[in-house]
Chains A and B, each alone.
Chain A
Amino acid sequence: MPSLPLADLEAQVGDTHRTVEDFHVERGKVAEFARAIDDPDDVYLDEQAAREAGYDAIPAPPTFARTSFFPRYRPDGIDHDLGFELGFDRARVVHGQQRYEYERPLYVGDTLTGDTTLTEVYQRDGRGGGTMTFAVLRTDFTDESGSHVLSDYNTRIETGRAIRGEGE
């Protein structure tokens, strides 16, 4: 169970914090990321190949917004909990689900801002015993013109005890 009562988490549902600033989509970082996910396709590596494939510039892979995790892009005072007080024990937190909704691809040259809203919290009994607490954090990314580019829905689970899941 989190160190805070569920009601304290529920009271934060709907709150929004600025969590990503000045997130530059850099050409070298896109290439490095594409190789790291075993997809070193030319569209991610070469501007001309990207244009021939119909893109305005080199696009970033669908999960590239994850790189906004780097402290470089975090505003002062924003840590792993993205401005919320979840009271989760990090040793027992796993990443349950990740969903994206896109308006358009991310492109090299974009500079994005991210605002994170706590959209949902709930508890459920875990199969291995103990209570599992779920928190869904939606981050809306906008470009320099203020247009929405994509939304990232991150589901974190604080497990009742260490279970087999993806450590986050």
Chain B
Amino acid sequence: MTTEAPVRVEDKLYQNRYLVDVGNAHIKVKPHTKPSPELLALLKICPAHCYELNSNGQVEVTPDGCVECGTCRVLAEGGGDIEWSYPRGGYGVLFKFG
């Protein structure tokens, strides 16, 4: 199990259809110096790998590939780490099968 190659979720997201609302990110990470445990958990749990650490050790979000599951909202909105809203009508992920 330890020898398995890392899974590239980007290849999976490539199959999906999106209409990205450029300049209107529907998820925002609140400015912070040291990430909370909840924010750090998002690096792994987000099924679209939208969360990454930047070079300063802060958690950043790029919600272009977001599948709108709400997992990050359940984990991190309560503590004030992130702001969550749905994309504007018609934007975001467009499931062909669902």
User: Is B a genuine binding partner of A?
Assistant: no
